[in-house]
Structure formats: C-alpha cells, structure tokens
Chain A
C-alpha cells in the first residue's frame, strides 16, 4: 500500500509571498488532515476533511490559510501572505474513517525568511 504523498519536501520563501503544498492520501481514505508542527512541539490540527467536506477548520488562520480537497482525493494547502511564524513542518495525514489512527506523510518543511 502506497503511503501518504506530500510535495514539495522543502520550501523557502520570503515573508508576504505565497506558497502551496500538495497531498495525495492513501487510496480509499475518506478522511484527510493537515497539521502544522512547529519545531519541538506536537502536531496541531489545521483542517480536517471528510471526503470533500470540511469537518473542522477551527484552528485554521482563515485570513491567510486556505485548503481544498478536490473530488475527495488530493488536497492543497495554501498560505498567502506568509509570515515568519508560519515556519514549520506541514504534515498531511489520512484515515479510512473519522476515528483514528491515521497515517502521516513525510511533511513539507517551510522556512519563511
């Protein structure tokens, strides 16, 4: 079984620029999550999708972050404009159902300078 795929692995941008991350979940997994992990901390949920629909986006900074999941499969997370404090690893995860556990991708390390 192929795992959760994420790209790019690394991204360096200047503040106020925009950036997008891509995630392809495990085939058949209806639930998809985007997490933000700041160095030395545990992952923090940004948004959870169930198929095409958003289940929880209460911790997503909606003034600058947006996410979509087209056709209930791939997902993109966008930041516009980026701030220095957005420097983190962005992890995508997926699960068969809303109840865990779930599988993580390798993440995208974002550095905002």
Chain B
C-alpha cells in the first residue's frame, strides 16, 4: 500500500537555526513528489515538485531534495515568517496522490 510518512510531527527552532524536514514514501512507481506550505486557516500553497532521485529545487531559504525512498526539505537560517505546516505528497504512476500528515514548524524570534 502506498504510504507517506513525515517527521518530525512538530519542530521548534530559533530564528537562524537551520534544520531539515523528512518525507519518506513507499509508492509503486513515483510520478512526482510535491511539497506544500499551509498557513492556519488557508489552503496549501505549492512549493516544489521533484521527479527523480538526485533532483534538487531551491526557493529562498528552502531547498528540497529527493532520493529513491525519501525527500528532505532543508530550511536555512529560517525566519519567523517561515512558521507553517509543511506537507509532502506523492503521486504514483496510477496518478493517485497521497499526502503525509505534515510537519508543524515554529520559528521563534
């Protein structure tokens, strides 16, 4: 059965303290892996798509990487405005998209 597991469930960091969020997945053929950011009371906002192992994407303080079994979202020198829930989703060759439960990130000023 296809699965997506995100860790940690919650993470508190000091402003400027870099860290990584993990998304491990099992899927019968990966068509794409997506990262979304979700602020309270809002719908998820698209960040990145990764298609194959070794691929990396960057946007401001965020960098997403992909291996055959997991993806990492690295956050460098985070600011309080980076506080949000980060969701990972995978799409298999059957086109079904499965989301993880997300990581709640809180950046303390």
Q: How many residues of A contact B (CB 8 A)?
A: 23
Interface size in chain B (residues, C-beta < 8 A): 24
Residue in chain A with minimal CB distance to B104: A40
Pick the residue among B4, B34, B45 that contacts A100 (CB under 8 A). B34
Q: Which of B62-70, B73-81, B94-102 has 4 or more CB atoms under 8 Å from chain A?
A: B94-102
A41 closest partner in B (C-beta): B101
**Is A55 at the interface (CB under 8 A from chain B)?**
yes
CB < 8 Å: which of B46, B89, B96, B100 contacts A56? B96
Interface on chain A toward B: helix, strand, loop, or mixed SS?
loop
B34 touches A42 (CB 8 A): no
The answer to whether the Cβ of A62 comes within 8 Å of any Cβ in the partner chain is no
Q: Which residues of chain A have C-beta atoms less than 8 A from B34's C-beta?
A: 100-101
**Nearest chain A CB to B85's CB is how many angstroms away?**
9
Contacts of B101 in A (CB 8 A): 40-42
**What is the predominant secondary structure among interface residues of chain B facing chain A?**
strand
Cβ–Cβ contact B91 & A106, under 8 A: no
B residues near A101, Cβ cutoff 8 Å? 32, 34, 46, 49
Q: Does B42 contact A (CB under 8 A)?
A: yes
Among residues 86 to 102 in chain A, which have CB atoms less than 8 Å away from a CB atom of chain B?
91, 93, 98-102
Residues of A within 8 A of B (CB): 4, 33, 40-45, 55-56, 91, 93, 98-107, 109
Give 27 CB contacts A-B under 8 Å: A4-B43, A40-B101, A41-B101, A42-B89, A42-B101, A42-B102, A43-B87, A56-B95, A56-B96, A91-B43, A91-B44, A93-B43, A99-B31, A99-B32, A100-B34, A100-B91, A101-B32, A101-B34, A101-B49, A102-B46, A103-B46, A104-B36, A104-B43, A106-B41, A106-B42, A107-B42, A107-B43
